[in-house]
Structures are given as C-alpha cells and as structure tokens.
C-alpha cells in the first residue's frame, strides 16, 4: 500500500471513509463506521487490525448477521462486485452442471448445519480445493466453524483492503 493512500484514508471524513471501505466486510458498512474514529492508522495492517477488532468486539448476533451477508459459493445470484470477482478468480462462475449441483448440495447442508453460508477466501483457489474444504468443514462443531468462518471473513477483508488501497 502506498503511504499516500493511508494518508488519504486518515484525512477522510466519516462519509468518505465509509464510502471507500464500507464494502470491505460484505454488506456490513458498520465495521468501517466504527473503525473511522480510530484514525489515524499507521498502515494497512493497523487499519485491518482495527476493523478486525470492531468485528471481534461485536456481539454474536451482529457477527452472525455479518456471516449471513455473504453469498453461497458457486451461487448464481446477485453479489457484490468484490464477491463476483473473487468467485470468478476461483472458477466458480464456470462450474459444470455436475459441479454446480454438488456445490448447491454442500451449500444447503452447510447452511442447514450452521445457519450461515460457507465462507472461504477463495481468490485463486480451485473448485476442487473449495469443495474439499466444504466437505471437511461441514463436520466441524458449531463453535469451531463459527470461529473459522469469522477468520475467513477477516482474510477476505484484508485482501479487499489491499486491492482498494494499492497504488
């Protein structure tokens, strides 16, 4: 990230800050809104750490809303531009009919088990690697998978921050 980009972020008023960073956490601008008051940030690491803390300090219900804001992987529905790009980088926009059906079954099983969609930082992963992760993680306990999903959300957020703030 360029030094200038972090300076611009630090000088942003609340509305500009949220406009720029409100989509880092999927459909959850409240994360950026709460992080704004912690400016100035020394680096993207500092900014990301603050945004992570905002999420970690939220109550369980708010975290669950954050998880539920994510689309199912391989789903062919309305998604944010970032989700479309991330899923395309993993080839999820070009699944065969058989792969699509397998993802739909796994998505349904996962959602029925945990109450939120399967979340994974899929950028540049293969459909087979994603499917293997889904099959493994659907066997997790509820608390373990909740923590894993939140961790994946933080990874996705970091990737998005890097993309937004790269020179």
Mean pLDDT of each 10-residue bin along the chain, 167 residues long: 77 96 96 98 97 98 97 70 75 84 92 96 90 96 98 97 85
Phi-psi region of 74 (alpha: psi -120 to 50; beta: other; left: phi over 0): left
Residue 1's pLDDT is 42
Residue 117's pLDDT is 96
Residue 4's pLDDT is 64
Catalytic one of 48, 70, 140, 154: 70
Other C-beta atoms closer than 10 Å to the C-beta of 71 total: 20
Q: For domain 3-165, say whether CATH 3.40.50.11890 is its number.
A: no
* 56 vs 70: CA distance, rounded Å: 17
Residue 77's pLDDT is 60
Q: Would residue 70 show up in a list of annotated catalytic residues for this protein? A: yes
Do residues 1 and 165 touch, judged by C-beta distance below 8 A? yes
CB-count burial class (<10 Å; 0-12, 13-18, 19+) for 85:
middle
DSSP 16-63: HHHHHHTTSSTT-THHHHHHGGGPPPSSHHHHHHHHHHHHHHS-HHHH
In this structure, what are the phi and psi dihedrals at residue 62, rounded to the nearest 5 degrees?
-65, -40
Tell me the helix, strand and coil percentages in the chain, rounded to 5.
65, 0, 35
The token pair at 161 is 């921050």
Phi-psi region of 91 (alpha: psi -120 to 50; beta: other; left: phi over 0): left
pTM, to two decimals: 0.89
Which residues make Cβ contacts (< 8 Å) with residue 112, sequence separation at least 6? none
Report whether the peptide linkage leading into residue 40 is cis, meaning its omega lies within 30 degrees of zero: yes
């Amino acid at each position: 990230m360029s030094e200038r980009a972090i300076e611009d972020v630090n000088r942003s008023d609340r509305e500009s800050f949220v406009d720029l960073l409100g989509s880092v956490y999927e459909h959850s601008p409240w994360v950026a809104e709460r992080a704004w008051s912690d400016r100035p940030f020394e680096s993207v690491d500092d900014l990301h750490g603050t945004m992570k803390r905002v999420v970690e300090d939220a109550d369980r219900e708010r975290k669950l809303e954050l998880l539920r804001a994510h689309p199912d992987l391989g789903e062919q529905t309305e998604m944010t531009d970032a989700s479309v790009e991330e899923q395309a980088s993993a080839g999820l926009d070009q699944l065969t009919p058989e792969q699509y059906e397998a993802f739909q079954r796994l998505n349904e099983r996962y959602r029925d088990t945990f109450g939120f969609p399967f979340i994974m930082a899929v950028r540049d992963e293969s459909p087979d690697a994603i499917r293997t992760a889904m099959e493994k993680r659907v066997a997790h306990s509820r608390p373990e998978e909740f923590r894993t999903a939140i961790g994946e959300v933080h990874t996705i957020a970091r990737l998005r921050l890097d993309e937004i703030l790269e020179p």
